[in-house]
Amino acid sequence: MSGTESTVPAASFGATPIMRLLPSLIIWSLLLSVPFWMPLVGGYTALASRVLIFGLAAMGLNLLLGFTGGLSFGHAAYFGLGAYGTGLMLKFVSGSTPLAIVVGVLVGGMAATVFGLLTIRRRGIYFAMITIAVGQMFYFIAVRWNSLTGGEDGLTGFSRTNIGFGQAVLNLHHTITFYYFTLFFFAIGCAVVWRVLHSPLGHTFVAVRENQRRLRFLGLSVGFYIWIAFALSGTVAALAGTLYALLNNFTSPQDLNWLLSGDFVIICVLGGMRTFWGPPLGATIYVVVQDYLSSITVNWMAFIGALFVVVVLFFPFGLLGLLQRRSSQ
């Protein structure tokens, strides 16, 4: 997979195929070896799983935000619906972890598809405001529906279960095993997003971002493509939400709140909105800084805010976007 800006080729024209693949090979090598080197730098495997989950959610949002140009502050709704769908399935219906993931993805993805039709009727700030309104609707449903969701206390009483393969059993209660389980679905999400972005549909998304008026003159339905991007984006976020519920064996209305949507936007901006690997990079910075600072001060959000301001002022294309622009000069 190639993590490059959507408006340029995968690498410079003179680069060899090996050089184009080298960054991705390094990234996947690091991800596959996380349980071995993470303790050496003072981290722990569950933190790496959280980075992957937030990176996947932000990658889904980036499909809409960075590549299609639609600012959403409501994607936590689909993330949280995926989490609640998984938790409710495990608690009330079936103890099958794969089935719970499928149900969570379907719940969040279908919600994004349905409410995307409502959202695409507006542009700009009105688009963003509708996404907030829809997201908060699901948030208040989760808060008020105590008998099903647990209300403000959150949904408890479920946990991820092992997966059997004949005589073999995948022990998901082991943190390292669950990390590779999360990495597997992270890879699936990456493959889907990469394939979309490198298809005619993905190029159309970029065209929507760059010049909607020209597309209308060409006879294309801009709203239709924004809706497709919204639906795909929400579905990827829902997949991340299912994994988050399994990681914590818990989910709460905070997983639906617009504040979490803001976190996803911050992650995209930090890493680079118009790059493939930008959101995972932003998630790494955000989650690691949050984990470290929250252990030493209750005002850790002030440091995140300061970091965000610095990036916006001095690195408007994000950290990875800056590196790619310099390497292409």
- Per DSSP, the residues of 237-279 read HHHHHHHHHHHHT-B-GGGTSHHHHHHHHHHHHHH-TTSSSHH
Mean pLDDT in the chain?
89
Decide if 7 is inside a domain: no
Decide if 292 is inside a domain: yes
- Rounded Cα–Cα distance for residues 58 and 281 (Å): 10
CB neighbours (10 Å) of residue 44? 13
Assign 4 a pLDDT band (cuts: 50, 70, 90). Answer: very low
For the cut 70, the answer to whether the pLDDT of residue 11 exceeds it is no
- Rounded Cα–Cα distance for residues 276 and 190 (Å): 9
Decide if 124 is inside a domain: yes
Residue-level pLDDT at 251: 96
For the cut 60, the answer to whether the pLDDT of residue 94 exceeds it is yes
Decide if 16 is inside a domain: no
Per the structure, how many domains does the chain have? 1
Decide if 37 is inside a domain: no
Exposed/middle/buried for residue 167 (C-beta within 10 Å: 0-12, 13-18, 19+) = exposed
Exposed/middle/buried for residue 221 (C-beta within 10 Å: 0-12, 13-18, 19+) = exposed
- Per DSSP, the residues of 274-292 read TSSSHHHHHHHHHHHHHHH
- For 159, the 3-state DSSP assignment is coil
What are the pLDDT digits (tens) for 192-231? Answer: 999 999 999 999 999 999 988 898 898 889 999 999 999 9
Contact status, residue 247 vs residue 82, Cβ threshold 8 Å = no
What are the pLDDT digits (tens) for 165-202? Answer: 878 889 999 999 999 999 999 999 999 999 999 999 99
Decide if 33 is inside a domain: no
Give the position of tokens 């994994």. 243
Decide if 15 is inside a domain: no
Partnered with residue 155 across adjacent β-strands are 251
Stretch (H or E) spanning 183 = helix 175-197
Decide if 290 is inside a domain: yes
Highest average pLDDT, of 52-56, 268-272, 273-277, 319-323, comes from: 52-56
Question: The domain containing residue 271 runs over which residues?
Answer: 45-328
Contact status, residue 53 vs residue 185, Cβ threshold 8 Å = no
What are the pLDDT digits (tens) for 126-142? Answer: 898 999 999 999 999 99
- Per DSSP, the residues of 290-322 read HHHHHTT-TTHHHHHHHHHHHHHHH-TTHHHHH
- Rounded Cα–Cα distance for residues 306 and 323 (Å): 21
More confident residue, 297 or 105: 105
CATH number of domain containing 133: 1.10.3470
Assign 153 a pLDDT band (cuts: 50, 70, 90). Answer: very high
Residue-level pLDDT at 328: 57
Assign 274 a pLDDT band (cuts: 50, 70, 90). Answer: confident
The helix-helix angle for 258-271 and 300-314 (nearest 10°) equals 40
